[in-house]
Amino acid sequence: MENPSKIVEGGVEHVLGSFDGKKVIYDFPKILAYLNAKGKQLFGNEFRIFEEDHAIIYKLSNYYIRDAESCEKAGIDIHKGILLSGPVGCGKTCLMKLLRYIVPHQRIYEVIPSRNITFAFNHIGYKVIEDYGNQGFFCFDDLGVEPFGRHYGKDCNVLGEILISRHELLLNHKVLTHATTNLNAEEMEERYGNRVRSRMRQLFNLVAFDSKMVDKRK
């Protein structure tokens, strides 16, 4: 039987915990060591995990490994997606790209910039809403700061429509949706309206960085 506690990449074996033949007992320091190595591979040698991020990474790691007991204590529902919020440059996108690799046996979602979806809508039209709303595993990056869509003279809140469809996808097929955002709850409601905001509460667990977090890219 394949050991899901071990990940082999480029001839290097990363051990994330122990496996008793039925379940993995994960070790958080080992997860951190793997994430640091994988981050350097994906984003360059300048990448590093900051100590002040350990708490949020621990919470998200428990979600990804489906540790229901730890998630319940943290107020996270493993049957919802993740909405990771925080100020510009705090590392939201990197984390959402990175954490999916600790569970290679699960289906990996694609991280898509929200603005790119709107641009595609402007060119292609409503098929884009169908493509992203009715299938697939996605993380919508920078949700809420994308422009409104416009196709053949008709305006459309593209991501708002997609989120409504993703809500139906969750209810009917248990397909999860993830997202990152710089906006707070009030700004989200102003951007998408109460109808979408109420569905977002069912779609997502809100996990937030400290609003005073500094821009790590500077």
| Contact present, 16 and 87 (Cβ < 8 Å) | no
Q: What is the spatial distance between Cα 64 and Cα 51, in angstroms, rounded to a whole number?
A: 20
Q: What is the spatial distance between Cα 218 and Cα 210, in angstroms, rounded to a whole number?
A: 17
Instruction: Find where tokens 């204590």 sit.
Output: 73
pLDDT exceeds 90 at position 3:
no
Average pLDDT over residues 35-61: 94
**Taking Cα atoms as reference points, which of 178, 177, 201, 175 lies closest to residue 188?**
201
Residue 184 three-state SS = coil
Q: How far is CA 116 from CA 97, 147, 196, in A?
A: 17, 10, 20
Residue 128 three-state SS = helix
Q: Is the pTM of this model over 0.85?
A: yes
108: left (phi over 0), alpha (psi -120 to 50) or beta: beta
Q: What are the pLDDT digits (tens) for 111-151?
A: 999 999 999 999 999 999 999 999 899 999 999 999 999 99
pLDDT > 90 fraction of the chain, expressed in percent and rounded = 78
Q: What are the pLDDT digits (tens) for 171-191?
A: 999 999 999 999 988 899 999
Fold assignment, 78-208? Rossmann fold (3.40.50)
**Taking Cα atoms as reference points, which of 111, 110, 109, 159 lies closest to residue 133?**
159
